[in-house]
Amino acid sequence: MNKTNMMHDLKPERPELAPPLPAVMMVLPVLFYLSAAGAMGLGALFTVKTKQAQTDEQREMDGEQEVRRMIASLKQEQKVIDETHGKAREVEAWMDSTQPLMEIVSAVINSVKTGNTLSSLRLSRTAENPEHIEMRVQINSGGTGQKEETVQALVKEGYQTFKDDLITHNKNDRFGDVTYTATLVKNKASEE
Amino acid sequence: MNSKHLACVLLFVVMCALTQGTLMLNQRWVTAMQSTSDAAARHETAMKEQSDTQTDLAKARNDTAGHRKYLEMWRQNFEQSGTESSAKNEFARMLKRFPGLIPFLSQTSTPVENKDMTYVNRRISSNVKLEGDAEKTILLLASIERELPTSRIAMLELRKGGKGNDVELDLAVEFPLLAAPPPAPEK
């Protein structure tokens, strides 16, 4: 058998001892070649797909890094805003505590009726509770009547008095000297 | 082993190698796909995080705009009198504008801390006792509150003075001090 073809089954030249394989078995080498070609084709395809996937992965990673950078920048801005807000709140708290005392002084002085006199006016506030203003007025003459006038004037200015105390030397003397102490709080509604 | 057997063995080896190679390449592809999918998920998570952060930031910007504007409005005043010496100078300058009022005791305390504050973190108190015309004294008080708006009158006591229309004034004014800015990084 001199004929050489692709389907040669590697059998050496020798007399036939057994009947040849059925013709359908010729498909085996064909399948082998196809498998080999298929394996190489699949290998190439997988390699290309792997490269493509790696490129995609790199792109996603770059994208993620870019997004993370932007997040860091946004967080930095957020931090600056939070710090500024914190400062603003402190400034606001301080400014709230600097509520002018002049309107109290004016109200008290203007409330003094002709003929009545004040010997002293003391206003103070603490850092812990600056909206509470401690007031002490020593009325020299005018007594409780003048005290009422003063309280009315303060109420008109939008102040509420509490912890009031009145010290008078002679309870029967409505026009004598009295010392009036109270804590004043600005009525929020009157500020608006 | 004859050459036919050898050929069969080689063939078998080649087939195994092809199968293994293909399987290995397939596995690499699957792994790469998985990594890509993971990276895409991480990217998506990051994008969502960015979107959330951006929303939070926009909300914070919006919510704090009023306060921040308020700070900008007052910052200059606070910085102007925000140190010990500038606060003292401003107060002294104010008193000098009323030469008719005679100060006979004037002192400035050492700074004390403002509780729970990190920016306006300290304050100093200037105390003065003076005597003079009642009208001028009232004018001084009004000027302090109008022209030194960041100051706070902690205590005032007006008493009848020694003569005529005079009054005695005990006054304690507090000035806010700002936290020192962090030192600039060395180059």
Choosing from B56, B80, B104, the residue where a domain stops is: B80
Partnered with residue A134 across adjacent β-strands are A124, A183
Is A63 an 8 Å CB contact of chain B? yes
Same domain, B101 and B169: yes
A74–B160: do the CB atoms touch at under 8 Å? Answer: no
Let me know if residue B156 belongs to a domain: yes
CA-based nearest distance B99→chain A, Å: 21
CATH code, domain with B151: 3.30.70.60
Give domain status of residue B16, yes or no. no
Cβ <8 Å between B156 and A47: no
Q: Which of A8, A9, A34, A50 to mutate to test the interface with B (most CBs of B within 10 A)?
A: A50
> A4 vs A9, A81, B109, CA distance in Å?
10, 86, 116
Domain annotation covers residue B43: yes
**Do B89 and B56 share a structural domain?**
no
- Report domain A102-191's class: alpha beta
In a domain, B182, yes or no: no
pLDDT in tens, B131-159: 888 888 889 999 988 888 888 999 999 98
The answer to the question of residue B31 being in a domain is no
Q: B11 in a domain, yes or no?
A: no
Q: Any idea where the domains of chain A sit in the sequence?
A: 21-96, 102-191
CA nearest neighbour of B132 among B92, B159, B172: B159
Q: Which residue in chain A has the smallest CA separation from B121?
A: A90
**Cα of A138 vs its chain's centroid, Å:** 50
More confident of the two residues A29 and A86: A86
Q: Do B118 and A90 touch (CB under 8 A)?
A: yes
The identity of residue B18, as a single letter, is L
Same domain, B94 and B139: yes
pLDDT at B69: 92
Number of domains in chain B: 2
Is the domain of B144 the same as that of B157? yes
Residues of B in contact with A89 (CB under 8 A): 67
**Is B103 found in the same domain as B73?**
no
- Residues A118-172 pLDDT 10s: 888 999 988 778 888 999 998 887 777 888 888 889 999 888 888 888 887 766 6
Based on the fold, state whether residues B74 and B88 are members of the same structural domain: no
Question: Which of B4, B119, B123 has its CB closest to that of A87?
Answer: B119
Q: What percent of chain A lies above the pLDDT cut of 70?
A: 86
Boundary of a domain, candidates B46, B80, B114: B80
Nearest CA to B80 among B25, B132, B26, B151? Answer: B151
CB contact under 8 A, A43 and B78: no
Q: Are residues B42 and B103 in the same domain?
A: no
Domain membership flag for residue B101: yes
Low-confidence ranges of chain B (pLDDT < 70): 1, 181-187
Of A61, A92, A109, the CB nearest to B67: A92
Task: Annotate chain B with three-state secondary structure.
Answer: CCHHHHHHHHHHHHHHHHHHHHHHHHHHHHHHHHHHHHHHHHHHHHHHHHHHHHHHHHHHHHHHHHHHHHHHHHHHHHHHCCCHHHHHHHHHHHHHCCCCCEEEEEEECCCEECCCCCCCCEEEEEEEEEEEEHHHHHHHHHHHHHHCCCCEEEEEEEEECCCCCEEEEEEEEEEEECCCCCCCCCC
Alpha carbon B175 to its chain's center: 20
- Residues B52 and B105 occupy one common structural domain: no
CA contacts within 13 A on the Cβ side of A111: 26
**Do B119 and A90 lie within an 8 Å CB cutoff?**
yes
Q: Domain of B108? A: 84-177
Quick one: B62 and B94 in the same domain? no
State residue A48's pLDDT score: 95
Q: Which of A93-107, A172-186, B147-161 has the lowest mean pLDDT?
A: A172-186
Cβ-count burial of B21 within 10 angstroms (0-12 exposed, 13-18 middle, 19+ buried)?
A: middle
Q: What is the ipTM of this complex?
A: 0.81
Confidence at residue A1, expressed as pLDDT on a 0 to 100 scale: 45
Angle, CA of B175, A92 and B96, to the nearest 5°: 25
Residues B138 and B111 in one domain: yes
Across the interface, which of B42, B60, B120 has its CB nearest the CB of A91? B120
Alpha-carbon distance of B55 to B88, in angstroms, equals 45
Mind telling me how many Å the CA of A174 is from chain B's nearest CA? 22
Query: d(Cα B34, Cα B26) in Å, to the nearest integer?
Result: 12
In a domain, B29, yes or no: no
Q: Are B100 and B157 within one domain?
A: yes
- Which of B19, B47, B80 is the endpoint of a domain? B80
Give the residue among A128, A130, A108 at the shortest CA–CA distance from A117: A108
* Same domain as B173, residue B88: yes
Does the pLDDT of residue A191 top 60, yes or no? Answer: no
Question: Which of A53, A85, A89 minimises the CB distance to B36?
Answer: A53
Q: Note whether A46 contacts B123, CB cutoff 8 Å.
A: no
Residues of A (76-135) whose Cβ lies below 8 Å from B: 77-78, 81-82, 84-95, 97-98, 100-102, 105-106, 109, 117-128, 130
Residue of chain A with shortest Cα separation from B140:
A102
